[in-house]
């Protein structure tokens, strides 16, 4: 090195170290002797490993598969086969091909038991828990039967009971060639009583393509359900 002052020597050593660590290797200066060559070799190896690990971490972070699924803002208590059912709707919002789509619903309720308020969880049965492909919208339906924790609920119970419905969606995404998941939840006061979703897809003008209107994902209309609560107390 042609450095004269200690500061210049430090600068030469620092920049040589940086060139070695980043594997740039301009070749203007080079180590001499076994010890300095060993240190330079170790630093070059450390630089390669550091960049390899950083690349893997960044790739894993930004290429993480994501389920491009939207959920309706509200769940509905709608008429269903002479009774009632809790419904929520999902739809894909990108061109990903989602197959083997599975839905699971769990509800957590705060109920009085032996004079104490306790948290209880129930797995909700679905009309269909699995569809082969999610190309349009899917209305997830939990029929309120005698096995449902909502069977004896009145309008007041839906309004005053603390509870939340947890929605878990799992699907296979062909684009990522991997399984993706999506989650959402609805508190009981987010359930609209006496409503049903309006269709969100239609045929185009040429009648050869089905158009999915994502703006209608949350659109619903009134549906008579008052008779469902008769006789419940």
Q: Which of 46, 62, 78 is the last residue of a domain?
A: 62
- Give the model confidence (pLDDT) of 97-151 as tens digits: 899 999 999 999 998 888 888 999 999 999 999 999 998 899 999 999 999 999 9
Nearest to 92 by CA among 6, 178, 201, 195: 201
Alpha-helix residue ranges (DSSP H) falling in the chain: 6-21, 34-62, 155-160
| 94 and 170 fall within a common domain | yes
If pLDDT is split at 50, 70 and 90, which confidence band does 233 have? low
| 85 and 187 fall within a common domain | yes
**Spatial CB neighbours of 109, under 8 Å, sequence gap ≥ 6:** 119, 120, 121, 122, 149, 161, 162, 163
> Could you tell me what percent of the chain has a pLDDT over 90?
42
- Give the model confidence (pLDDT) of 208-232 as tens digits: 788 888 899 999 999 888 777 776 6
Residue 23 has pLDDT above 90, yes or no: no
Nearest to 172 by CA among 205, 133, 200: 133
- In the numeric block, the tokens 């050593």 are attached to 13
pLDDT at res. 26 = 62
What domain range is 101 assigned to?
69-229
Taking CA 50 as the corner, what is the angle to CA 47 and CA 52, rounded to the nearest 5 degrees? 110
Query: What CATH code is carried by the domain that includes residue 98?
Result: 2.60.40.1400
Q: Taking every pair of C-alpha atoms in the chain, what is the biggest distance, in angstroms?
A: 99
Q: For the purposes of burial, counting CB atoms within 10 Å of the CB of 177, is it exposed (0-12), middle (13-18) or buried (19 or more)? A: exposed
Nearest to 92 by CA among 126, 64, 124, 66: 66
| 102 and 191 fall within a common domain | yes
User: Which tops the pLDDT comparison, 152 or 28?
Assistant: 152
> Could you tell me what percent of the chain has a pLDDT over 70?
90
pLDDT at res. 18 = 75
pLDDT at res. 201 = 83
Q: Which of 62, 84, 103 is the last residue of a domain?
A: 62
Residue 37 has pLDDT above 90, yes or no: no
Nearest to 189 by CA among 146, 148, 153, 151: 153
- Give the model confidence (pLDDT) of 90-108 as tens digits: 999 887 789 999 999 999 9
pTM metric for this prediction: 0.72
Domain tally, the chain: 2
- Give the model confidence (pLDDT) of 44-103 as tens digits: 788 778 878 888 877 666 666 778 899 999 999 999 988 999 999 999 988 778 999 999
| 97 and 183 fall within a common domain | yes
Query: What CATH code is carried by the domain that includes residue 12?
Result: 1.10.287.70
Kindly tell me the sign of the dihedral angle through the C-alpha atoms of 150, 119, 89, 160. positive
What is the rounded distance in angstroms from the CA atom of residue 217 to the CA atom of residue 61?
A: 30
Establish if 1 belongs to a structural domain. no
Q: Which of 22, 39, 62 is the last residue of a domain?
A: 62
């Amino acid at each position: 090195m042609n450095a004269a002052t200690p500061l210049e020597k430090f600068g030469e050593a620092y920049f040589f170290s940086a060139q070695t660590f980043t594997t740039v290797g301009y070749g203007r200066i080079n180590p001499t002797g076994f010890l300095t060559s060993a240190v330079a070799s170790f630093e070059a190896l450390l630089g390669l490993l550091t960049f390899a690990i950083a690349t893997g971490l960044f790739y894993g972070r930004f290429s993480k598969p994501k389920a491009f699924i939207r959920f309706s803002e509200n769940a509905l208590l709608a008429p269903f086969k002479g009774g009632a059912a809790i419904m929520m709707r999902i739809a894909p919002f990108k061109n990903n091909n989602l197959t083997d789509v599975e839905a699971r619903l769990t509800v957590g309720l705060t109920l009085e038991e032996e004079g104490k308020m306790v948290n209880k969880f129930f797995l909700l049965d679905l009309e269909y828990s699995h569809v082969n492909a999610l190309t349009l919208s899917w209305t997830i339906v939990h029929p309120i039967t005698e096995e449902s924790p909502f069977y004896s609920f009145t309008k007041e119970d839906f309004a005053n009971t603390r509870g939340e419905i947890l929605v878990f969606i799992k699907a296979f995404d062909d684009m990522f060639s991997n399984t993706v998941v999506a989650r959402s939840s609805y508190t009981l006061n987010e359930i609209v009583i006496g409503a049903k979703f309006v269709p969100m897809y239609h045929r185009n003008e040429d009648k050869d393509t089905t158009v999915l209107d994502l703006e209608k994902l949350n659109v619903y209309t009134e549906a008579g359900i008052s008779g469902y609560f008769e006789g419940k107390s």
